[in-house]
Structure 1
Amino acid sequence: MNLSFFGSRTITIYMARTFLVRSLAVLAALVLVLMALDLLGESGDILAHPGNGDAQLWTYVSLRTPQIVARFLPFAVLLGTLITLATLNQNSEIIAMKAASVSAHQILAPLIIASIGVAAISFAFNDRIVTRASATLAAWQAADYGPIPADRGVVVNVWVRDGDDLVHADAVTGRGSATVLRGVTVYDRTGGLLKSIVTAVAAHQQGRGWVLDRASRFDVASGLVRPAPGYRIAQGVTPDRFTLADVQPDQRSFLDLRAAIAELHAAGRPTGPLESGLWHKISGPLSAILMPLLAGVAAFGLARSGRLFLRAVIGMALGFTYFVADNFALAMGNLGAYPPWLAAWAPFLLFLLIGEAVLVRTEE
C-alpha cells in the first residue's frame, strides 16, 4: 500500500502542470469574453464625457480587468479542474494511476497543493491590485468618467446626516483634528422641509463643530443668496463620521480595512458587515483549494459507462452550489443575521466536509 502524500514525483508534476495550464487558459477565455461584454455596456458612458477617447477606454479596461480576474478565478479553477480530471479519466490515465496503487487522495493532492499556491497569489493580487483598481474606478465613475482623482488617501463624495440636516463633501482629506472638508454643501432642513442651502469652499473642525470657509447661504423662502462668514455646522459630529463614512471592503487592503474597523469600533459604530468582508478577504481566495475536492467526482468511475458527463455535471453543481452558499452567507453577514466569522467561514468548512465525504464514500 502506498502511504506517501503524493503518488510519485512524475505524476505530481504532470498533474499540477496540466491543472495550472488549463485553469489559466479558462481564466483567460473568461476574462476576454466578459471584459468585451462589459466594455460594450460602458463604452457609451465613457465616451459621453467631453475629451474621452480610446485612451480612456483602455484605462477602463486596465481598471476593470483586475476585478473580473478576482471574481472569476475560483470559477476558472473549478472548470480547469473538471477539464483536467475528465480528460484524464477519458484517456484511462486515472485507471492506470489506481492500478499503480495511487489512491484518490494522492491523485488529487498535486491539484490541491497547486491550488494553495493559486490562493496565495490570489490574496496578494486582491490585496495589492484589485483594491486600488476598485477604489480608482469608483472615484472615476463618481466623476462621470471625468479626470481620475489622484489616490492620496482622499475620500470622495461623502454624505453625513446631522439630525434633519444633510452634509455633503466633495472630498475629505486628513485624519483626526487635521480633517478638512472640501466642496461642502449643507442642506438645512426642519421637520423634513428644506429651509436653506449653504455652500462653502472648505470646512475645518473648531471645538465640537465645523466652521465653513467662504460660505454663502441660499434661503429657500426668500430666494436670496447671502454671504455667511463663520457659519458653523454639525455640532458634535466627529471627524471619523466623514473619513469613515463610506468604508468599502473591496476598496481597502486587509490591513487598511482592519484599521478602519478598529477606528469605527472605538467610535462605537457597528462593524459587523465590515468584519465579514475582512474575513472573506481570506476565505474567498481559499475557495480555490476546494475546487479540486468538489470536482474530484469527475475523475473516477469508468468513462465507458457513459456517466463521465454526469459526473462532470455533479462536480460543476457542487462547485456552483458553494458559490451560491458563499454569497448567501456573506449577504446574511452584511445584514447582521450571521456573525462575521460564520458568514465568512461556514460555507468553506461545510463544503470542505461535503467534498471529503463524497470522495471517501465513493472512492476510498
Structure 2
Amino acid sequence: MSINPRFFASPTITWYMAKIFLVRTFAVLAGLVLILQTLDLLGESGNILAYPGNGDAQLWHYVSLRAPQIVARFLPFSVLLGSLITLATLNQNSEIISMKAAGVSAHQILAPLIVASLFVAAGSFWFNDRIVARATATLTAWDNADYGPVPVDRGIASNVWVRDGDDLIHAATASGRGPATRLSDVTIYDRSGGALQTIISGARAAQADGGWRLLGPTRFDVARGTRRQLPAIVFGRGITPDRFTLADVDADERSFGALRIAIADLQAAGRPTGELEAGLWHKLSGPLSAMLMPLLAGVAAFGLARSGHLFVRAVIGMALGFTYFVVDNFALAMGNLGAYPPLLAAWAPPLLFLLIGEVVLIRTEE
C-alpha cells in the first residue's frame, strides 16, 4: 500500500467530505437553535408580556436578540455533532475503509473537516464580534428595564474609583466626554505608605491646568481629627477623563477591539482586568475550538475502528468533545476568579486537547 504525502488526499474527496460535514453541522445547529429558542421563549414570554403594552412584536424582538446568543453558544457543539455524524456515516458505508485502503492516512481523512472548521471558526468570530456582542448589550439593557422602554444612555458613570499613585479618588458621578467631563461629590483619599493621611472632599470638579480643579473643598486631617475649608485646588494631574467616565465593562457585550480599549483604560485607572483579559483571549480561542471537534470525533472513530461498535465510537467521541467544553468552562471560571492567568485560562484547554487528540490518533492510526 502506498502512502499519499499530500495534505489533502484528492480534490474530489476534499470537496465531498467538506460539503457533507458543513451540511450536517448547520443542520444540527438549526435544529438546536429552533428547539432551544422555543424553550427559552416559553420560559421568558411571561416576563415580556407582563409589561403593559407588550405583544407579539416584543416577543419577536426578544427572539431576534436571543437567537444570536444561542447560535454562538452551541455552534461548537454543532461542529462536534456534525463531525460525529459525518465520520459515522462514512464508516458505516465503508468509505473510510476504502480511503485507507487507497493509502489515505487518518490525518488526510480528517483534513477536509478541519479546514472547513477553520472557515466556521472565522465566521463564528465575525458573528460574535459584530452581532452577538451588540445583541447581548441590547438584551441586557432591555432586561434591566423589565422589558419596557430602555432608558437613553446619557454616558453618566456612577460610583467611580481612580487610583493616582498611593492616593484614591472617588466620584459619585462622572458625566460628559473629553474636556467637558464633570465630576460630582468628589473625595480624595491622600495616602502615604499605605496609611491614610487626609481626606479632601468637594461638590464638583472639572479639568484645569493638566489636572482637575476641585471647587469648595474641605480637608479632614486624620491624625489631628480637624477639618478646615480650602480654596479651589488642582489634583490628579495626568489623569485622563476616560478613567472617570469608563463604565462597568462586560466582555460579552463588547467587540474584540472595544474590549481591548476598555482593558487598556481600566489598567490605566489601576483597576483589575484579569477577568476581562481572559474574556478577550476567549473571544479567539472559543471560535477556534471548532477546529478541535473533527479531531476529537476522529480519534474515537479511528481508535476503535477494528471493534465494529459504531455506537460506542460515537459515544466516546461525544464524551471527548463534551469533556473539552467542561474543561474550557472550568478554566475560564478560574481565570475570572484570578486563579489562572488570562492566557492560560483561554488557551490551555484547546492546546491540551489538541495534544491528546494528536497523541491518540498517531498511536492508534498512524
Counterparts in 2 of 1:258 and 1:304: CA distance versus 1, 3 Å: closer
Q: Residues 256 and 283 of structure 2 are in contact (CA less than 8 Å); yes or no, is this contact kept in structure 1? A: yes
Q: CA RMSD in A?
A: 3.0
CA deviation vs aligned residue, 1:171-196 (integer Å, no higher than 9, x gap)? x7643443468xx999xxxxxxxxxx
Aligned equivalent of 2:266, options 264, 267, 270: 264
Cα offset for 1:59? 0.4
- The Cα shift of 1:297 comes to 2.6
Which residue, out of 77, 80, 83, partners 1:81?
Answer: 83
Deviation of 1:146 after TM superposition, in Å, equals 1.0
- Which letter maps to 1:315? G
CA contact (8 A) 1:49 1:146 kept: yes
CA distance, structure 2, for counterparts of residue 239 and residue 97 of structure 1: 64
Change in Cα spacing, 1:174 to 1:89, as seen in structure 2 (3 Å) is: farther
Q: Which of 340, 349, 352 does residue 351 from structure 2 map onto?
A: 349
SS of 2:62's partner is: helix
Paired with 1:19 and 1:277, the residues of 2 have a C-alpha distance of 29
Q: Could you tell me how far apart the structure 2 residues matched to 1:346 and 1:93 are? A: 35
Counterpart in 2 of 1:337? 339
Corresponding residue pairs, total = 320
Q: 2:177 maps to which residue?
A: 175
CA contact 2:121–2:288 (8 Å) conserved in 1: yes
Q: Retained in 1: the 8 A contact 2:296–2:320?
A: yes
Residue of structure 2 in register with 1:40 after alignment: 42
> Who is 1:193 aligned against?
none
| Aligned match of 2:251 | 249
Q: 1:176 to 1:157 in 2, by over 3 A?
A: closer
1:122 deviates by 0.4
- 1:97 CA displacement: 0.7
Question: d(CA) in 2 for partners of 1:118 and 1:135?
Answer: 24
Q: Which residue of 1 aligns with 2:311?
A: 309
Q: Judge conservation of contact 2:157–2:244 (CA < 8 Å) in 1.
A: no
Q: What stretches of structure 2 of length at least 5 have no aligned partner?
A: 163-167, 187-203, 216-234
Match of residue 130, structure 1, among 117, 122, 132: 132
Check the 8 A contact 1:119/1:288 in 2, yes or no: yes
* Aligned residue number for residue 114 of structure 1: 116
**Displacement after TM superposition at 1:359 (Å):** 0.8
Deviation per CA, 1:76-132: give whole Å up to 9, x if none. 000110011011111111101111111100000000000000000000000000000
2:4 is paired with a residue whose SS is: coil
Q: Secondary structure at the match of 2:285?
A: helix
Asked if structure 1 preserves the Cα contact closer than 8 Å seen for 2:47 and 2:147, the reply is yes
Contact 1:158 1:246 in 2 (8 A): no
Compared CA separation, residues 269 and 120, structure 1 to 2 (3 A): same
Partner Cα distance (1:17, 1:173) in 2: 53
| Percentage of pairs with the same residue | 74
Tell me how far apart the structure 2 counterparts of residues 323 and 38 of structure 1 sit (CA, whole Å).
Answer: 21
Q: Which moved more, 1:299-308 or 1:73-82?
A: 299-308
Offset of residue 302 of structure 1: 7.1
- Aligned pairs for 1:1-364 (under 5 A) are 1-149=3-151, 158-160=158-160, 167=172, 174-179=176-181, 205=206, 208=212, 240=242, 243-300=245-302, 305-364=307-366
Q: Distance in 1 between matches of 2:254 and 2:303?
A: 45
Q: Compared with structure 1, are the counterparts of its residues 205 and 62 closer, same or farther at alpha carbon in structure 2 (3 Å cutoff)? A: farther
The 1:302/1:286 distance shift into structure 2, 3 A limit, reads: closer
**Secondary structure, in 3 states, of the residue corresponding to 2:104?**
coil
* CA–CA separation in structure 1 for the residues paired with 2:61 and 2:185: 31
Alignment-derived partner of residue 190 in structure 1: none
**Structure 2 CA distance, aligned partners of 1:275 and 1:103?**
39
Q: What is the Cα deviation at residue 361 of structure 1?
A: 1.1
| Cross-structure match for 1:215 | none
The secondary structure found in structure 2 opposite 1:300 is helix
Where structure 1 has 5 or more consecutive residues not aligned to the other structure, the ranges are 187-202, 212-234
In structure 2, give the amino acid aligned to 1:62. Answer: S
Superposed CA offset, 1:300-339 (max 9, x none): 3677844211111111111111111111111111111111
Change over 3 Å in CA distance of 1:210–1:260 after alignment to 2: farther
Name the CA distance, whole Å, in 2 between partners of 1:177 and 1:278. 30
